[in-house]
Each structure stands twice: as C-alpha cells, then as structure tokens.
Homo-oligomer: A and B are copies of this chain.
Amino acid sequence: MSQGQIVECVPNFSEGRDTEKIERIVAPLKGREQVRLVNYEGGRDYNRLVVTVLGEPRAVKEAILDAIGVATELIDLNHHEGEHLRMGATDVVPLIPIRNMTIEDTVLLSKELAREINERYQIPVFLYEDSAANPGRVNLAHIRRGQFEGMAEKLLLPEWEPDFGERKIHPTAGVTAVGARFPLIAYNIDLGTDDIDIANKIAKSIRQSGGGFQYIKAGGVELKDKGIVQVTMNITDYRKNPIYRVFETVKMEAARYGVPVVGSEVIGLAPLEALTDSLEYYLGLHGFDDTKIIEHWLMGD
C-alpha cells in the first residue's frame, strides 16, 4: 500500500461493563506508532465496547490483532448477556477507507486481517459488507442471526461455511465478522413539530426502502424533552447522496406539512470531504480542495 494511506477501524468487543477488562483490551491500541486511538466507550446495557482507531493500514491491522488477542483471552461468551446482538468476543471489525485508499484496498486489508485472526486465535471469520464473498453475506444481520448460542449449529449449514477457519466456533470467543465499508454519516434533522407522523412520513420519502435516495436509511424519532421530532438517518454513501441534498429535500418535504426544519446534527465522526462538499454547494465554491484548508497541512504523511 502506498504512503499516506489512512484507514479507520471500529471493532466491537463483547465487554461493556468491566472497566479493567476494557482497559486491557484497548491497551495495545495506545502509544503505538502510526496508530491513533480516537475513542472507546463501553455500554452497560449493551455490554459492548466500541472502539475507534485511525492510522496507517498495516500498523492498524497489527494493533487490532493484538487487541483481539486480549479480548479472546478475557471474554467468555458462555457467560455474556446484554441487549445488543452478538456472536463473538470480538463481534465485528469494520474497516473504512479514510485517505488515499480505495474500497478495494480496504477489502484486501480486511481479508488479511480476517486470515490472521483465524490463524492466530483459531476464531472462524466471516467477511461482510464490501468484503462479502456472496450477496447473502453482505448484511451483518444475516451473518449474526442465531447469535453466539446458535452459531455452532449454524456453521454446519452448507451456506454458512466461514470464509476463514473451520466449521467450528471458538469455544469462548465464538465467531467474528470482518468487512470493508465506505464511511457512513449518522445525521439527524430537527423538525419544528412534535408530530411523529410527519417525521415518519418524511423519513419514508427520503429513504431507499421508501423509494427515496439509494444510500439513505431513515426513520422518525421523538425528542420528548425538546418537544420536537427528528428525521434520523444513516447516509451510507455521502458521495452519492451528499448531506446538503438530503437536508434541502427534507426542508422541501417539511414545507408540505407547514413544518419548519429547525436544525441538524452530525452524530459521531464525518469525513471532512462530506462537509466541504456541502459548503461548496451553498457558496458555489469552485477550485476548492483540502489543500486550501490550513489544518490539512498539519496532518501526518
């Protein structure tokens, strides 16, 4: 892989309560050359740890492998309960191209990572999303159905041979899914009403499943303390369905109900490109790119 590539990795581990174990799992991700631990957060109800790491692809892969090693030692799925679906101690490992990487580069990296997880820790691995070997494995939900408890039996089904490893779960760490995907943006638009029907109708009009934009998954949600409703969404490809277009479309649809759009918010991280693209739209900016941003020059090579 060429110089200057940056990948994001967001592994999900099945331990959200024991802070000592959490610290031990993330320890291999700290103070490492060319790897930056952005954040990690254990959730009590979900009993799940979500970690965000950025860095040079091979350095990230090695760091993540070490963290998976610790998780494999510390987590026993036979004694795990929580509200979030899970099938493995390391449940899922998404890899996301951030800079100077194509999705194809990221798929290659995901396959290397998956093979090494299996070789080092004898965990069967499924490839999902853009790394999936067939359409039935694209959606993580399909792979995870049956969860840890049903996985031993599931692996024996003809169509569920793992992409790496044998048809036999790891006795305590279960099964892991690894996959490359395009960065998604979690984005919410606030409506100046408390009528959830309106949010639901607008969500339906913009989402793919309702005949709307191809890369939008959306729903309505009530914010009771604020007394308003939101259209909450994932933009799964911001290059094809840019933020401004979704925002302006929601505004247009809301006008139909005499409801104003009163704000919006980005949840979690968004790529700079997705933001500057929308600014280019509003200001009719031409000749603009990242190198015009002072902070661009502060990023490592």
Complexed CA–CA distance, A266 and B134 (Å): 46
Contact with B along A264-299 (1 / 0, CB 8 A): 111011111001101100111111100011111111
Which residues on the B side are within 8 Å of A109 (C-beta)?
none
Contact call B98/A183, Cβ cutoff below 8 A: no
Contact call A266/B295, Cβ cutoff below 8 A: no
* A160 on interface, CB distance cutoff 8 Å: no
Contact call A270/B294, Cβ cutoff below 8 A: yes
Contact call B270/A284, Cβ cutoff below 8 A: no
Q: Which residue of B lies closest to A52 (CB)?
A: B297
Residue count of chain A within 8 Å CB distance of chain B: 43
Say whether chain A's binding surface is mostly helix, strand, loop, or mixed: mixed
Contact call B295/A299, Cβ cutoff below 8 A: yes
**From residue A101, how far is it (CB to closest CB) to chain B in Å?**
13
Given A99-B298, A292-B270, A299-B295, is A282 in contact with B279 using a C-beta cutoff of 8 Å?
A: yes
Contact call B275/A276, Cβ cutoff below 8 A: yes
Contact call A284/B263, Cβ cutoff below 8 A: yes
**From residue A300, how far is it (CB to closest CB) to chain B in Å?**
6
Contact call A264/B283, Cβ cutoff below 8 A: yes
Given A298-B6, A298-B54, is A268 in contact with B292 using a C-beta cutoff of 8 Å?
A: yes
**From residue A113, how far is it (CB to closest CB) to chain B in Å?**
20
Contact call A265/B278, Cβ cutoff below 8 A: no
Which residues on the B side are within 8 Å of A243 (C-beta)?
283
* Residue ranges of A at the interface with B (Cβ–Cβ < 8 Å): 6, 8, 36, 38, 54, 98-99, 183, 190, 243-244, 247, 261-266, 268-272, 275-276, 278-279, 282-288, 292-300
A-B contact pairs, 5 of them (CB 8 A): A8-B294, A264-B286, A266-B285, A266-B288, A295-B299
